[in-house]
A and B are shown apart, each in its own frame.
Chain A
Amino acid sequence: MDIAVVVFLSSGLFLGWSLGANDAANVFGTAVGTRMLKFSTAAFICSAFVILGAVISGAGASHTLGELGAVNAIAGSFMAAFSAALTVYAMTRAGIPVSTSQAVVGAIIGWNLFSGYPTDIAALLKIAGTWVACPLLAGGIAVVLFKLTTMVVAWAKLHIYRLDAYTRLGLILAGAFGSYSLGANNIANVMGVFVQANPFTSFSFGGFATFTAIQQLFLLGAIAIAVGVYTYSKKVMLTVGSDLLPMSPVAAWVVVVAHSIVLFLFASQGLEHLLANADLPTIPLVPVSSSQAVIGAVIGIGLLKGGRGIKWGALVNIASGWIITPVVSCLVCFVALFFLQNVFNQQVYKDSSYVLSEPVLDEIERRGVSTKKLAAFKDQRFDSVREFRNVLELEMTIDERDESVILEVARIDTILINNSKLWLLDSKPLSDEQRAAMWNVVGRKFVHRWMVDRALAEASDSWKSRPATKKNKLFNRRLQQDRRIIYDVFRIEEKR
């Protein structure tokens, strides 16, 4: 691996470290703060399960961040992660509660603004919606769980020492679950911006298990989180444990479990699959703030007890964080990208070219967008996303939804299915059928991604998108990931 890549990844590791230092305290803070568990025990369990969660279930939430904006040059990824980490650090120093998720989203939008690529408003709304839903959901779950636990404890008539022993065991199990969920949900914050510019390559163990490039990336991020846990979280844990509302260890357990369930819900692809198959509405897989989940759960229990002793200021702080954090992070990222590009001469984004050729116009029409306004620019080529969007928005006054379709279809991405590169697919997680279908398109050259998709779909059903229903959502997402593998392997750089 290039040394520059290591340098660029360092900002993600910094972000991971700060996440480990701060957010691990949400999982084990009360247990360690109340001395129910030793710090060394908590740190070990936390690190191990954060790594497991990140590597096994981390992919779900990172996908949504990818929808928001695909940071496509590693220097840009570096700056996005660095801006987010800087924002988190500065705001924590200023005493403003801050969430890594919100900082990362702000940084990605900052990159979008700088590079000229559009921000997917639907994805942004989806993410912002979960920020509001996360504390509410945590509060609701905490209330139900608290009621149940109180009932069970009263019914079981446990001896004071036995309750103590069970609570310890419960805190360990809940902490392990919480750490797993934290890793699964929040690794996207740490490493999500590097996914598009991932320097790793997948490899498989004897053909039966594959360690994907993304998993390797996430492992690295998770190790950074673990280092954060070991080196810095003790202090934070002790403050969290004593600063929180006076709570009994059992209530602390309820808070940890509620927090973990919420993080798990927003990260579990398995659950999404289950819900989709049962034709139920799915939960968006989005990195959420673990601190806000904890605060939501604490307030839920407080309300259940009659609302006394709740610090309502905390609610105002949360809500203001939803806005302040991403805005600050967005600005920091934008300014920093400017410096990185113009002072340090780094490529912080890869620009794209667009063409409105005949087949492109046909495809746009096929996707239900009128090409009437585009006709005047037929066969014209645009060599930057900013230029093309300016034309679309200012001269053609095309709305946002149509614009995203046009951008996708008209984008030039030259892909040559080169015979000599086919072996590269051996290590990729593709099905045999998909691999076999590649022989039908060998030697062909495509100017746009959708052309590759179409040719592959004609070659085999395994490359064909299914109708956009809830049940097919996961299949189609998976297919999109497989297609991305093809683009990445066979892309050829064209002189512009």
Chain B
Amino acid sequence: MSSLFRNRRGGHMISLFGKTKALEAQTEEFCNKVSEGSLAFRIGLLAYLTGDREAFAEKQRQVSEIESRADQLRRDIQRRLYLETLLPESRGDVLEVLENTDKILNSCESAMWQFFIEKPEFSDEVAGEFTKLVLTVVDAVDALVLALRAFFRGDQSISDHMHKVMFYETEADKINHRVLGLVFDSDSDLSYKNQIRHLVLHIDYIADIAEDVADRLAIFSLKRAI
């Protein structure tokens, strides 16, 4: 029976659905990793902002591990989709979504590296705004992961999550402007201002990616709606 399907690995019917199940599990795990990564990112940065460098370093390691596991999962899913020519119609869409979502974790990781290397110092006021920025960005990623799960599971609730992504992204932009306003209004060196700007933009960029992915998801789910 398996030869009836575009499936190079042999096996039979039951194993085909078995493979489908394995792929489902991998995709779920990928979503979990994105969610876990963003949570670790949040805890790590909040620890940094409260001066707990040890906790920050620990979370930074964790984010790196999660990121490389997610990379591995993404590659594995991609390989399977191509080798077994699954989802011929929407394979490109799915791969695009996976790749862009993976970029969120990359950005989380590189932002943490930036903090680790540059060791920026913040005034209380800026640290407060920074905390809000991190929380909002992670909220956007959370909402995206829910939308992503709904997309894969064929759940109609996808739009319920998508509008939240948009909302958090806009909020993140506002905070971003506030932080930059605060920093550039201060008497600090231009070099310091530039350093903070890069950090703010880097973190805000995570919400931007989440919004981009959500936009694509909206279109793909329309396409999927038969």
Contacts and interface: CB of A to CB of B under 8 A. Distances in A.
Contact of B20 (A36, A165, A248): A165
Contacts, number: 72
Interface stretch (B87-95, B119-127, B168-176, B198-206): B87-95
A165 B24 CA distance: 12
A401 interface: no
Interface string A424-449: 00000000000000000000000000
B90 A146 contact: no
A161 B226 contact: no
A248 B224 CA distance: 7
A390 interface: no
B5 A248 contact: no
A41 B94 CA distance: 26
Interface residues of B, number: 27
Interface string B183-206: 000000000000000000000000
B6 A38 contact: yes
Interface string B3-41: 111100000000011001001100100000000000000
B79 interface: no
B24 A161 contact: yes
B156 interface: yes
Interface residues of A, number: 28
A164 interface: yes
Interface stretch (A16-24, A54-62, A151-159, A347-355): A151-159
A163 B154 contact: yes
Interface string B83-120: 00111111000100000000000000000000000000
B153 interface: yes
A298 interface: no
A156 B156 CA distance: 11
Given A34-B89, A41-B3, A248-B226, A165 B153 contact: no
A129 to B, nearest CB: 32
A370 interface: no
B20 A161 contact: yes
A160 B6 contact: no
A160 B87 contact: yes
Contacts of B152: 159-160
B56 interface: no
Contacts of A159: 20, 24, 27, 152-154
A34 B87 contact: no
B155 interface: yes
A162 B16 CA distance: 10
B154 A34 contact: no
Contacts of B89: 34, 36, 248-249
Contacts of B20: 159, 161-162, 164-165
A158 B20 CA distance: 12
B113 to A, nearest CB: 34
Contact of B94 (A36, A160, A163, A165): A160
A37 interface: yes
SS class of chain A's interface: helix, strand, loop or mixed?
helix
Contacts of A172: 4
A168 B94 contact: no
A32 to B, nearest CB: 10
Contact of B90 (A38, A149, A154, A160): A160
B76 to A, nearest CB: 13
A154 B151 CA distance: 12
Contact of A41 (B4, B16, B87): B4
Contact of B223 (A34, A162, A248): A248
A251 interface: yes
Contact of A153 (B16, B85, B88, B154): B154
Given A41-B3, A161-B24, A250-B226, A35 B88 contact: yes
Contacts of B223: 248
Interface in A146-203: 146, 149-150, 153-154, 156-165, 168, 172
Given A146-B226, A248-B224, A250-B226, A161 B87 contact: yes
Nearest to B23: A161
B151 A160 contact: yes
Nearest to B87: A164
Nearest to A246: B223
A443 to B, nearest CB: 60
A27 to B, nearest CB: 15
Contacts of A37: 4-6
Contacts of B24: 159, 161-162
A280 B8 CA distance: 50
Contacts of B5: 37, 41, 165, 168
A433 B7 CA distance: 57
Nearest to A149: B226
Contacts of A164: 20, 86-87
Contact of A161 (B3, B6, B27, B88): B27
Nearest to B24: A159
A158 B156 CA distance: 11
Given A34-B89, A165-B20, A248-B223, A157 B154 contact: yes
Given A41-B3, A160-B87, A161-B27, 12 more contacts: A45-B4, A146-B226, A160-B152, A160-B154, A161-B23, A161-B24, A162-B20, A163-B154, A164-B86, A165-B16, A165-B17, A172-B4
The 3 residue pairs across chains A and B that have the minimum distance between CB atoms = A35-B88, A165-B20, A161-B20
Interface of B: 3-6, 16-17, 20, 23-24, 27, 85-90, 94, 151-156, 223-226
Interface of A: 34-38, 41, 45, 146, 149-150, 153-154, 156-165, 168, 172, 248-251
8 contacts: A34-B88, A153-B154, A154-B156, A160-B94, A161-B23, A162-B24, A165-B16, A251-B226
